[in-house]
């Protein structure tokens, strides 16, 4: 079943001075199946962030459509957008985006509080997620009291707790050391094994090599994709590296 369907997505920015048009996305089409774990790779300026912002309904495309669970994002009313986001999407950001006046528990519960869920239900939900992510003992700590990896796991818990259709992760390992990165990627794989659909934007080969499918974006179009198939992480890692090398040297895989 398709959870996310992106059809011929285009985004054109017009610079304020001189009216020069910049085509950030030039027609992106892809679909994500339920239970998939997709990584989107691309250099800086390839349009990754623009794509993610549009998927997160933080930005609007110039043309084309995004369907989440069969519902077109541009049909959602402006006022209900935040609620829609809250219900269907979970976010993990590079900079964690935890509120430092909240304990980890409160940070994780915040989306549920915004949905006005009952306290019992909140407490029922947080326990298994926190223990799965290995932060069960840290819930009463403040973000500044824990390490970067722990912060990112708390952020992942916050994304998971609403049971979203899709988790969008924007460079989740970008601010982490290698050990914390590995741990977080393991958590992501585990989440995926439990049936969670994940879409991750990254330019870390290591991170991408944990996904089941890798999309490459260059100059605003989907340039190439690799399926994991039965390959292990290391094999996928090599394939991704080769692809990137070819991309850089101008090879054409299509």
Partner 1 sequence: MKHGFYVKIASQNIRNNTRLYLPRILAETGLLGCFYIMLTLSMDQRLSEALGGSYLSMFMGFGAAVIGLLSLILILYVNSFLMKRRKSEYGLYNVLGLEKRHIIRVLFTESLITSCISVMAGLFFGALFYKAASLWICRLFRTSVVAGFYYLRASNFFLSAMIFFGMDLFAFVCNGISIHRMKPVELLSERHTGEKEPKIKWVLLILGVLCLGAGYTFSLTVRSPLAAVGGFFLAVLLVIIGTYFLYVTGTTFVLKCLRNNKSFYYDKRHMPAVSGLLFRMKQNAVGLASIAILATGVLVMISTTVSLYSGVQDTVNANYPQHLYLSAYQNRDGEIRHISFDELSGIVSGVAADHGAQIESIENTRMLIASYLLRDDKLLTKTEVEGGWDIQELTSVIYITEDTYAQLKGQTYFTSDERHLGLGTDEIGFCRIMSTVHDLGEAPETLTIDGKEYKVKEMISYFPVSSNFGNIVDVVGIVVSDEAVLNSIYMAQKEAYGEYASEYASRIAVTFADEEAMHAIGAEFDRDVVERLRARFPEDILSYTLDTKWESLHNTLDMYGTFLFLGILLGFVCLFSTILIIYYKQISEGYEDRERFQIMEKIGMEAWEVRQTINSQLVLTFFLPLLTAGIHTAFAFPILLKLLKVLMLSNTMLFVGCSLITFVVFAGVYTAVYLMTARTYYKIVY
Chain residues that interact with partner 1, rule: CB under 8 A: 58, 79, 81-83, 85-86, 91, 93, 97-102, 106, 109-114, 116, 119, 122, 142-145, 158
Element (H, E) at 94: none
Question: Residue 93 or residue 237: which is nearer to partner 1 going by CB?
Answer: 93
For residue 172, give the nearest of 140, 139, 138, 133 by alpha carbon. 133
Q: What are the C-alpha distances in Å from 53 to residues 88, 120, 130, 244?
A: 15, 33, 27, 24
Three-state DSSP class for residue 47:
coil
| Minimum CB distance to partner 1, residue 86 (Å) | 3
For 132, counting Cβ atoms within 10 Å of its Cβ (0-12 exposed, 13-18 middle, 19+ buried), the class is middle
Q: Minimal distance in Å, beta carbon 59 to partner 1?
A: 12
Residue 66, beta-bridge partner list: 6
108/122 Cα distance (integer angstroms): 10
Q: Which is nearer to partner 1, 10 or 86 (CB)?
A: 86
Check if the beta carbon of residue 63 is closer than 8 Å to that of residue 47. Answer: no
- Please report how close the Cβ of residue 110 comes to partner 1 at its closest, in angstroms: 6
Q: Which is nearer to partner 1, 22 or 83 (CB)?
A: 83
Compare residues 38 and 112 and give the one whose CB is closer to partner 1: 112
Judged by beta carbon, residue 97 or residue 233, the one nearer partner 1 is 97
User: Least separation, in Å, of the C-beta of 109 and partner 1?
Assistant: 7
The minimum distance between CB 140 and partner 1, in angstroms, equals 10
């Amino acid at each position: 079943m398709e959870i996310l369907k992106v059809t011929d997505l285009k985004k054109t920015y017009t610079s304020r001075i001189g009216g020069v048009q910049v085509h950030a996305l030039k027609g992106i089409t892809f679909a994500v199946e339920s239970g998939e774990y997709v990584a989107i790779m691309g250099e800086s300026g390839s349009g990754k962030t623009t794509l993610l912002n549009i998927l997160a309904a933080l930005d609007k495309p110039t043309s084309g459509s995004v369907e989440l669970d069969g519902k077109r994002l541009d049909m959602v009313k402006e006022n209900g957008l935040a609620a829609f986001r809250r219900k269907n999407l979970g976010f993990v950001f590079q900079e964690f985006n935890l509120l430092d006046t909240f304990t980890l528990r409160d940070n994780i519960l915040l989306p549920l509080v915004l949905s006005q869920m009952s306290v019992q239900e909140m407490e029922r939900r947080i326990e298994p997620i926190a223990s799965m992510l290995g932060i069960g003992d840290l819930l009463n700590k403040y973000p500044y009291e824990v390490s970067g990896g722990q912060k990112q796991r708390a952020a992942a818990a916050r994304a998971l707790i609403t049971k979203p259709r899709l988790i969008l992760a924007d460079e989740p390992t970008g601010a982490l050391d290698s050990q914390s990165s590995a741990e977080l990627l393991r958590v992501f794989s585990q989440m995926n094994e439990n049936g969670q659909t994940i879409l991750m934007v990254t330019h870390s080969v290591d991170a991408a090599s944990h996904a089941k499918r890798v999309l490459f974006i260059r100059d605003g179009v989907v340039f190439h994709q690799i399926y994991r198939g039965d390959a292990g992480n290391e094999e996928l890692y090599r394939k991704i590296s080769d692809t990137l090398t070819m991309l850089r040297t101008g090879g054409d895989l299509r």
